[in-house]
Amino acid sequence: MTPAGFCRQALRVTDQGEFASFSEDRMTKLRSILGEKKEAIVKRWLEDTTASYAPETRAFLNRGKDRFANPVGHALRVGTQAVFENLLEGMEPDRICSHLDDIIRIRAIQDFSPSQAVSFVFLLKKAVRAELGKEAEDPRLLVELTELDADVDRIALLAFDVYTRCREQVCELRVSEVKRSVAAIMERFNRSGPDSASAPDRSETKSKCTNEKRGGDR
């Protein structure tokens, strides 16, 4: 199932309708402010996201502009920027999931627990408030910030769904690899015959008999 299809399944209408749709008309004032600060917010979000890595790795990932020389850093940079842009543009679940997949797929094969793998999403709240500074205390933005937090929480839920799917795929690949290894071993075993491993070495037997004969002649 594609990331988009998986998200459509995950966001089916519930009894409360909480995931029925995402708003496209909210946070107009806040959205305008965040759009002006987009580059700084995404940069801070990326730096906070890579803080979980070792210092050398973190520095390398933060320089990840080349998709070939630094594919992980490039995926993190492009993915976080795309997720943030989609958040400002109205939260299209299919597109959000597609960009999350680029990030989560990497973290799913690393030594991250599920909570660690998706925790970077919540760091967006911290990055937004850090760049807003005193503007975050403006009472006129309070409702919009609350709505923004709710949308970030929804993104985190999508990220967890994507992580679960990626881990399932990793497990399926590992099982397939084990099956192929076992099949190869059995094929070699059947080709050589079941008694080949236990059959005595003829040269060794001949040498032993020769030595025994020489001993008897003495």
> pLDDT value at position 133?
95
The span from the CA of 164 to the CA of 108, in Å, is: 8
pLDDT for res 182: 80
Amino acid identity of residue 133, one-letter, is G
The token pair that represents 72 in the structure block:
């992980």
Please tell me the distance from the alpha carbon of residue 50 to that of residue 64, in angstroms, as a whole number: 11
pLDDT score, position 167: 83
pLDDT for 104 equals 92
Please report, in tens digits, the pLDDT of each residue of the chain (218 residues total). 555 555 655 554 333 444 444 444 445 889 999 999 999 999 999 999 999 888 888 888 877 677 778 888 899 999 999 999 999 988 888 899 999 998 999 888 887 889 999 999 999 999 999 999 999 999 989 999 999 999 999 999 999 999 999 888 877 877 777 777 887 787 887 887 655 545 555 555 555 545 555 555 55
What is the token pair recorded at 4?
């988009």
- Distance, in Å, from the CA atom of 94 to the CA atom of 113, rounded to the nearest integer, reads 25
Collapse the DSSP code of 163 into the 3-class scheme (helix H, G, I; strand E, B; otherwise coil) and give the result: helix
**DSSP assignment, residue 63?**
T
CA geometry: angle 211, 217, 218, nearest 5 deg: 95
Record the tokens describing residue 81, joined without a space.
């920027």
Instruction: Quote the DSSP letter at residue 196.
Output: T
CA 65 to chain CA mean position, Å: 19
Q: Which domains does the chain have, with CATH numbers?
A: 3-175 (1.10.490)
Q: Distance between CA 192 and CA 62 in Å, rounded?
A: 54
Where b means 16+ CB within 10 Å and e means fewer, 90-105 reads ebebebbbbbbbbbbb
pLDDT at position 78 is 93
Angstrom distance (rounded) from CA 65 to CA 73: 7
Q: Give pLDDT, residue 118.
A: 95
